């Protein structure tokens, strides 16, 4: 069979796509054989999985006036070993079925692709990697797949650029939060910080929360990052006081839309007074936290600190901890 031959091949261009290795220099008639072969299949997608000793192939074809027309083509390779293992850590200590999720250690590109398919795309990328994305998926989710799937395809082929993909992490977090899927949003936050650490920008979240809690208890001034993390903590605690019939995702919306720290403070102040009746009179930690936020004077753009705000909303909440200091 021509696909398994080791003889030299020409490149053949069809409808704008190059088909490397399909045409032998001394057997050009096999081009016709190949297209006749494609015409036999009603299914428009043909995949030959990669083997240990050779690459696989993906071909997407349509029938046009009884002729096979190739509209997409890709080489499929086995998983390449990563330069160093990627560890997806459970920074937020999230649980599934009552158990804290274990860290996931990834050694090759196939494992990394499956991690992305699971965490970012909720299992939907693998079947939407080529051609049009399934139209019944939500429009925003379709857009995210279109925007990022080329990065994922390159990872399958050994070109790993997690930093580039990580720029879209908060688009995914925002999407899942608005859908009310808090667990998935937390999973992606774990992925985001895992990539940061993989790229040499580690952050000790638990230590950061301890430092913020200490500042709250002692009314010490916050830095910029701490302001947004604490804002997220206060927002989440106050939203938990709402009636169960109200959707948390919808209630987070005004805070995600606030375009600067001043607007965010106004939203938090309104939320505090809305649920003040449900807060114990002697809850000094929360009162201190709100006071520190209101005393913050800088006017900062939320887009530059959105990751810190979401970290505060999604991580363990200091206002549920018993005071031990």
pLDDT tens digits for range 74-84: 777 776 889 89
Question: Hey, which residues does 104 pair with through a beta bridge?
Answer: 88
pLDDT tens digits, one per residue of 228-262: 999 999 999 999 887 655 556 678 888 988 999 99
Range 84-97 burial, b when 16+ CB lie within 10 A, else e: eebebbbbbebeee
Phi then psi dihedrals of residue 9, to 5 deg: -130, 155
DSSP state of 181: -
Average pLDDT for runs of 10 along the chain of length 325: 38 43 54 68 63 74 70 73 93 90 93 95 90 91 96 86 93 89 93 93 87 96 97 93 64 86 95 88 92 96 91 92 61
Place of tokens 């019939």: 245
206 near 92, Cβ under 8 Å? no
18 near 57, Cβ under 8 Å? no
260 near 314, Cβ under 8 Å? no
Range 7-15 contact pairs with CB under 8 angstroms and sequence separation of 24 or more: 14/69, 14/70, 15/69, 15/70, 15/71
The domain defined by 205-320 folds into Methane Monooxygenase Hydroxylase; Chain G, domain 1 (1.20.58)
Tell me, what's the pLDDT at 279? 85
267 near 254, Cβ under 8 Å? yes
Distances (CA, A) of 314 to 27, 130, 142, 186: 61, 33, 25, 6
| Residue 305 burial class via C-beta count within 10 angstroms: exposed 0-12, middle 13-18, buried 19 and up | buried
Tell me, what's the pLDDT at 29? 61
> What is the token pair recorded at 320?
């549920």
Distances (CA, A) of 149 to 57, 130, 132, 257: 18, 9, 12, 27
15 near 69, Cβ under 8 Å? yes
Tell me, what's the pLDDT at 166? 94
Tell me, what's the pLDDT at 110? 87
What residues does CATH 1.20.58 cover in the chain? 205-320
Place of tokens 């989440």: 236
Q: SS3 of 118, please? A: helix
Tell me, what's the pLDDT at 297? 94
Tell me, what's the pLDDT at 2? 39
Other CB atoms within 10 Å distance of the CB of residue 274? 12
Q: What is the pTM assigned to this prediction? A: 0.74
Question: What's the 3-state SS for 218-270?
Answer: HCCCCCHHHHHHHHHHHHHHHHCCCCCCCCHHHHHHHHHHCCEHHHHHHHHHH
Tell me, what's the pLDDT at 105? 97
Residues 274 and 323: their CA atoms lie apart, in Å, by: 25
């Amino acid at each position: 069979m021509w696909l398994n031959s080791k003889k030299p091949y020409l490149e053949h261009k069809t409808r704008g796509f190059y088909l490397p290795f399909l045409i032998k220099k001394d057997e050009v008639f096999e081009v016709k054989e190949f297209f006749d072969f494609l015409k036999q299949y009603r299914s428009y997608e043909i995949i030959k999985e990669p083997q240990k000793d050779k690459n696989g192939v993906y071909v997407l074809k349509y029938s046009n006036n009884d002729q096979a027309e190739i509209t997409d083509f890709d080489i499929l390779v086995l998983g390449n070993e990563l330069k160093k293992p990627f560890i997806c850590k459970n920074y937020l200590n999230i649980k599934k079925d009552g158990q804290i999720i274990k860290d996931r250690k990834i050694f090759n590109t196939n494992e990394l692709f499956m991690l992305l398919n699971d965490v970012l795309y909720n299992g939907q990328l693998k079947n939407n990697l080529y051609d049009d994305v399934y139209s019944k998926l939500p429009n925003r989710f379709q857009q995210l797949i279109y925007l990022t799937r080329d990065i994922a395809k390159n990872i399958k082929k050994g070109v790993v650029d997690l930093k580039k993909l990580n720029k879209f992490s908060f688009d995914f977090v925002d999407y899942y939060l608005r859908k009310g899927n808090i667990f998935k949003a937390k999973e992606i936050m774990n992925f985001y910080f895992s990539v940061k650490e993989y790229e040499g920008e580690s952050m000790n979240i638990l230590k950061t929360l301890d430092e913020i809690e200490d500042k709250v208890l002692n009314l010490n001034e916050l830095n910029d990052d701490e302001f947004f993390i604490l804002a997220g903590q206060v927002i989440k605690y106050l939203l938990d006081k709402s009636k169960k019939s109200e959707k948390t995702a919808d209630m987070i919306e005004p805070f995600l839309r606030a375009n600067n720290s001043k607007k965010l403070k106004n939203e938090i102040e309104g939320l505090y007074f809305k649920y003040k009746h449900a807060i114990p009179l002697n809850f000094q930690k929360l009162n201190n936290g709100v006071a520190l936020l209101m005393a913050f004077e800088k006017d900062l753009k939320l887009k530059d600190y959105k990751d810190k705000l979401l970290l505060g909303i999604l991580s363990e909440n200091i206002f549920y901890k018993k005071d031990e200091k």
